[in-house]
Structure 1
Amino acid sequence: MYAFVRRLSTLFLLLSVLGLTSDVYAQTSNESGFSISASELIDLMPNSDVVVLHVARDSSDYRTGHIEGARFLSLNHIAVTRDAQQRMLSDWKALQDIFESVGISNDTYVVLYGEMNGLAATRAFLALDYMGHGKMSVLDGGFAAWQAEDGAISTEATSPIMSGRYRVKVHPQRIVTANQLESSIGEVAIIDARSIGEYSGEKPGNGITRPGHIPGAISMDWQMNLTDDGLMRPVSDLSKDYPVIGERVIVYCRTGMKASYAYFVARNLGLNVALYDGSFSDWSNNTSFPVETGR
């Protein structure tokens, strides 16, 4: 009898935790999409159901100083080199293992931030979105915004109490291949998130053999999404900038990093968006695909 009561108590505790996680996520997602402010995160941090991930290429960035309680997630594990292409999304099984190792389960509310002016965080956002994870936010303004709010900082590593259990529900429509993109030209909005110099072909960028852009693409430097303070511009303003052609938006850059921020913004706008994972590095290296130059 005692064992039964103990198991029942454990079940009630688990259900209450999962319910709290849902409530916590609802408090932020209803008003701000997939973005959370530093002040909102400070208020949420006492909840043990919130997992904050510091995303960077290596742990030295994390050890220098991070949000107290944040766990380290290696960008190099979720964006890998495959078939000579850099920053390709890891396969779903690898992603499952990676996120479980930092204590992420299906019901975990994940908050992401990291280096490269937030690009590491939005690349991790793409990975979780591809896996079908719904409860997540990116810290608006990143670590700088956290510091500006006098949030607690630590140099001590934080490890999960236990590994997560994740059941992946792959959303393949979040990623497109070169062939899929080519067949969509003229039917969807294509956004080039690189600088105007890279778009025009004046400044090719590392590893670009044929400078320019994909035919029909619209130049929207990813930094156009930010305010001077490094925060995401209001959704009401951004919605005026993002083109709608057909029923889909496809974003790309050189390797998929800058485009991940455009992807993140498009998801906040409620658009049906996909990222061309190989991006222009892949496209330009295949001479069978057309390239345009000029502005």
Structure 2
Amino acid sequence: MYTTLISAADLAGHIDNPAWVIVDCRHDLMNPSAGREAYAAGHLPHALFADIETELSGAKRGADGVFRGRHPLPVRADLIATLRSWGIDEDSQVIAYDAHGGMFAARLWWMLRWVGHPAVAVLDGGLAAWQAAGLALSTAAPVARSGGITERSPLVTTVSAADVLDNIDGGKRVVLDARAADRFRGENETIDPVGGHIPGAKNHFFKDNLGPDGRFKDAAQLKAELAPLVGNPSDAIMQCGSGVTACHNLLALEVAGLPGAALYPGSWSEWCADPARPLATGT
């Protein structure tokens, strides 16, 4: 069972295994149609496509009309229905990949763990690693059968905006922000019209989890870099702009042997939508 990362070589050895489900998670935050267009132009053999906006996210506003962030979690039953439509069973090995260092694939990795499915891994190095190994792409659109996955106890934890707010005064939990430094400081109005970060948060850009080759750093290096930031992982909260790239830091922590951190799904996009919540800028 692969539960964190898988190499292109190992995946190639199972590419025709009917018990494996491969999912293409490519996306562009500024161009939502880019991922599907890239998938149509060429994808891993047998891979299905996951739409971050519609299949891996839920309604942006709750029943009470309150904004929940740009990519809030879907209703768990809706996610199960989506996973079944991809042919995922209780014993399926799921592999997620993208072309962005795993920033979107890690979202699907975390979401499957959220519904209790442990057999999910991210293709280390993504599409680039697959092609660098001389492995072929396909333009054929596979037809998924109906799967039988069921909802089980979560393997991960989440926190709400209220939990994060309560933590600001007590300061017992570390909040780690996965956005780029300029967004954390509040200097990128194109992506974050309301700039800044949660008071007391630390910054660890998700791309810092990767080596020059676009693959994840090894476990020892990740542990050396992340452990001083998070302290006790069980007391750490991962967040980003909208709960997507925070999952990359969660994956890196898992690879490093530092499991247990929680995700704040609404992240900055939900947090800053309420002017009553405090914010900080700069470093």
Report the TM-score range of the alignment, normalised by the length of the smaller protein: 0.7 to 0.9
* Partner residue of 1:102 out of 71, 74, 86: 86
Q: 1:176 aligns with which of 155, 159, 162?
A: 159
Q: Which residue of 1 aligns with 2:8?
A: 38
**Equivalent residue, structure 1, for 2:231:** 245
Q: What CA RMSD, in Å, does the superposition of the two structures yield over aligned residues? A: 1.9
Aligned to 2:210: 226
- Taking the aligned partners of 1:94 and 1:177, their CA distance within structure 2 comes to 20
The corresponding residue for 1:65 is 42
Aligned amino acid, residue 255 of structure 1: S
Does 2:176 correspond to 1:198? no
Which residue in the other structure is 2:251 paired with? 264
The runs of 5 or more residues in structure 2 that have no matched partner are 28-34, 62-66
Structure 1 residues 277, 230: CA separation in 2 closer, same or farther (over 3 Å shift)? same
Partner of 2:279: 291
Query: Match of 1:82?
Result: 60
- Normalising by structure 1, we get a TM-score of 0.83
Contact 1:267 1:273 in 2 (8 A): no
Distance 1:167 1:203 in 2: 41
Cα shift readout 1:87-138 (whole Å, capped 9, x = no counterpart):
1111101100000001001110101102444222111112111111100110
Find the counterpart in structure 2 of residue 156 from structure 1: 140
Secondary structure of the residue that 1:51 maps to in structure 2? Answer: strand
The residue type equivalent to 1:245 in the other structure is: G
Moved more, 53-62 or 248-257: 53-62
Residue deviations 1:11-30 (CA, integer Å, cap 9, x gap): xxxxxxxxxxxxxx2xxx4x
Question: Residues 145-179 of structure 1, C-alpha deviation per residue, up to 9 Å, x if partnerless?
Answer: 0001112311011122x200121024285221111
Q: Secondary structure at the match of 1:112?
A: strand
- 1:54-83 deviation line (CA, Å, top 9, x unaligned): 123553221110111212222221124411
8 A contact 1:195–1:221 mirrored in 2: yes
8 Å Cα contact 2:101-2:215 kept in structure 1: no
Secondary structure of 2:102's counterpart equals helix
Would you say the 8 A contact 1:51–1:70 is kept in 2? yes
Q: How many residues align?
A: 263
The answer for the alignment partner of 2:32 in structure 1 is none
Shift of 1:253: 1.1
CA separation in 1, counterparts of 2:275 and 2:22? 43
Distance 1:133 1:182 in 2: 30
Query: In the alignment, residue 206 of structure 1 is paired with which amino acid?
Result: I
Letter in 1 for 2:185: S
Task: Classify the secondary structure of the residue corresponding to 1:138.
Answer: strand
Structure 1: stretches of 5+ with no match in the other structure: 1-24
Following the alignment from structure 2 to structure 1, what is the Cα–Cα distance between the partners of residues 36 and 187? 35
- Rg comparison, structure with higher value: 1
Q: Which residue of the partner structure matches residue 279 of structure 1?
A: 267
CA distance in structure 2 between the partners assigned to 1:252 and 1:146 by the alignment: 29
- Displacement, 1:37? 0.6
Separation in 2 of the partners of 1:142 and 1:78? 19
User: How far is the alpha carbon of 1:205 from its aligned partner?
Assistant: 4.8
In structure 2, distance between residues paired with 1:41 and 1:173:
25
Indicate the structure with greater helix content: 1
1:121 and 2:91 correspond: no
Q: 2:188 corresponds to which letter in structure 1? A: K
Identity %: 29
Distance 1:138 1:125 in 2: 7
- Over residues 213-252 of structure 1, what are the superposed CA-to-partner deviations in whole Å (9 max), with x where a residue is unaligned? 1122111111111111111111110111212334322111
